[in-house]
């Protein structure tokens, strides 16, 4: 088969946009979101693109902005289709019908209070044994269903340390060979460190965050109802500007969907 070299240059600042598709160029961000990535692939038969449902509702962390950009990044570079279910208020989350046909859910909401069929649709999604990626406030995604954290993610969210402490993010020694964190370059996150003292015993911790006198897990995987689950307490807007975080999320999408990992 012929080797195909494909280059994507994703650079976006307040002043100019270079080398972006028309769709990505229309997005607005204040700072650099991603760096130059070179992707080398082999010609192969086309497979159906992954379908991702982006569920957003964490205003504090600008999840609409971050997930919109990430969705466009996946579409442009990996031919991943995405749909949006973005909250319009604490009690309104339209677009959840996309869960019926998506390959995975990316959840990034904070203390929403949806009820009735919308909440039941999300609960059914998990009970059907379908994959999910949870970002930061997904541990307390729904104020009226806080059990989600322990039940699905295997987490133990107990608030966070002070915002004055910026955690240093690195791979835990036991996970250094895990495909999701291959080549992960440590960095200092702008987001506060979440407390998760007692994870479920079947979780596999990938990353840890360290501040003076405290270390906490910040990314892990597990299996729920036969489906792959990935959660990270990272997700500050500045995390989306880190190459390591971008690669981690991209790999997580393919990993939870049990597709071959892209070379990122």
Per-residue model confidence as pLDDT tens digits over 212-260: 999 999 999 999 999 999 999 999 999 999 999 999 999 999 999 999 8
Task: Give the residues across from 39 on adjacent strands.
Answer: 6
Task: Give the residues across from 105 on adjacent strands.
Answer: 53, 132
pLDDT at res. 38: 41
Please compute the mean of the pLDDT values over residues 163-183 and round it to a whole number.
95
Torsion of CA 177, 179, 180, 184, to 10 degrees: 60
How many Cβ atoms from other residues are within 10 Å of residue 170's Cβ?
18
- CA pair distance 261, 2, nearest whole angstrom: 20
pLDDT at 14 > cutoff 50: no
pLDDT at res. 27: 45
Which of the four pLDDT bands, split at 50, 70 and 90, describes residue 199?
very high
Which of the four pLDDT bands, split at 50, 70 and 90, describes residue 163?
confident
Token look-up 């059914």 returns 124
The closest alpha carbon to 165, from 202, 144, 194, 198, belongs to: 194
Task: Give the residues across from 204 on adjacent strands.
Answer: 221
Which of the four pLDDT bands, split at 50, 70 and 90, describes residue 69?
very high
Does the pTM exceed 0.75? yes
169: left (phi over 0), alpha (psi -120 to 50) or beta: beta
Give all domains of the chain, ordered by start, each with its CATH number: 49-256 (3.40.50.880)
pLDDT at res. 9: 36
Percent of the chain with pLDDT over 90: 79
């Amino acid at each position: 088969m012929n080797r195909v070299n494909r280059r994507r240059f994703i650079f976006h600042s307040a002043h100019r946009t270079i080398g972006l598709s028309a769709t990505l160029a229309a997005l607005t961000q204040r700072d650099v979101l991603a760096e130059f990535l070179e992707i080398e692939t082999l010609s192969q038969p086309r497979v159906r693109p992954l379908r991702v449902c982006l569920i957003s509702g964490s205003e504090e962390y600008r999840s609409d902005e971050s997930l919109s950009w990430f969705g466009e990044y996946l579409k442009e570079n990996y031919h991943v289709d995405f749909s949006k279910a973005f909250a319009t208020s604490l009690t309104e989350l339209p677009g959840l019908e996309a869960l019926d046909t998506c390959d995975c859910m990316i959840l990034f909401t904070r203390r929403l209070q949806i009820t009735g069929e919308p909440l039941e649709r999300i609960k059914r999604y998990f009970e059907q044994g379908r994959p999910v990626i949870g970002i930061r406030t997904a541990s307390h995604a729904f104020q009226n269903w806080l059990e989600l954290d322990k039940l699905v993610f295997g987490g133990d969210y107990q608030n966070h340390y002070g915002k004055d402490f910026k955690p240093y993010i690195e791979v835990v020694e036991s996970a250094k060979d895990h495909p999701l964190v291959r080549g992960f370059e440590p960095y200092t996150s702008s987001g506060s460190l979440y407390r998760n003292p007692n994870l479920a015993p079947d979780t596999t911790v990938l990353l840890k965050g360290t501040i003076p006198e405290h270390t906490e897990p910040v990314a892990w995987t597990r299996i729920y109802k036969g489906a792959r689950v990935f959660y990270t307490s990272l997700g500050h807007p500045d995390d989306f500007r880190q190459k390591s975080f971008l690669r981690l999320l991209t790999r997580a999408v393919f990993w939870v969907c049990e597709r071959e990992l892209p070379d990122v």
